[in-house]
Structure 1
Amino acid sequence: MVATAPSPTAGVVRPGVRREVRVGLVAVVSLVIVAIALLLPVWPAGDDMGSTHYMGLLAANQPWNLLLFMAVPVIAAETIAVTELVILFSPQRAGRAVRALNRYAGLIGGFYFLGVFVYLMKHAVVPLMTDGGWRGPADVIAVGFYLLGVVPLFGMALMEARVLGEAWDDQRRLKVHATLVGLFLVVAHVAMITGMLDPTVLGWQPTHAMEDGSQMAGMNH
Structure 2
Amino acid sequence: MTTTAPSAPGTAPHPAPHRADPGTTARAAALAVALLVVVGVALALPVWPAGEDMGSTHYMGLLADNQPWNLLLFMAVPVVLAETLAVTELAVLFRPGVPRAVAALNRYAGLVAGVYFVGVVVYLLRHAVVPLTVGGGWRGWVDVVAVGAYLLGVVPLLGITLLESRVVGAGWDGRRRLAVHATLVGVFLVVAHVAMIAGMVDPAVAGWEPTHLMDDGATMPGMTH
Name the TM-score, length of structure 2 as normaliser.
Answer: 0.89
Which one of the candidate residues 151, 173, 177 is aligned to 1:173? 177
Cα deviation, residue 15, structure 1: 6.0
1:182 aligns with 2:162: no
Task: Quote the Cα distance in structure 1 between the aligned partners of 2:173 and 2:80.
Answer: 27
1:54 aligns with 2:89: no
Instruction: Give the equivalent residue in structure 1 for 2:95.
Output: 90
Instruction: Give the equivalent residue in structure 2 for 1:26.
Output: 31
Matches within 5 A, 1:123-138: 123-138=127-142
| Structure 2: gaps (5+ residues) | 2-18
Task: Quote the Cα distance in structure 2 between the aligned partners of 1:69 and 1:17.
Answer: 36
Matches within 5 A, 1:66-145: 66-92=71-97, 94-145=98-149
1:216 alignment partner, SS class = strand
1:208 alignment partner, SS class = strand
| TM-aligned CA distance change 1:126 to 1:220, over 3 Å | closer
Matches within 5 A, 1:183-202: 183-202=187-206
Moved over 3 A (4+): none
Cα deviation, residue 89, structure 1: 0.5
1:199 alignment partner, SS class = coil
Amino acid at match of 2:55: G
Which one of the candidate residues 49, 68, 72 is aligned to 1:44? 49
Task: Quote the Cα distance in structure 2 between the aligned partners of 1:18 and 1:105.
Answer: 21
| Structure 1: gaps (5+ residues) | 3-13
State the aligned residue count. 208
Task: Quote the Cα distance in structure 1 between the aligned partners of 2:85 and 2:176.
Answer: 17
Q: CA RMSD in A?
A: 1.3
Which one of the candidate residues 197, 209, 218 is aligned to 1:205? 209
Task: Quote the Cα distance in structure 2 between the aligned partners of 1:23 and 1:208.
Answer: 49
2:171 alignment partner, SS class = coil
2:220 alignment partner, SS class = strand
**Percentage identity across paired residues of the two chains:** 68
Name the TM-score, length of structure 1 as normaliser.
Answer: 0.91
Cα deviation, residue 23, structure 1: 1.1
1:159 aligns with 2:159: no
Say which structure is richer in helix.
1
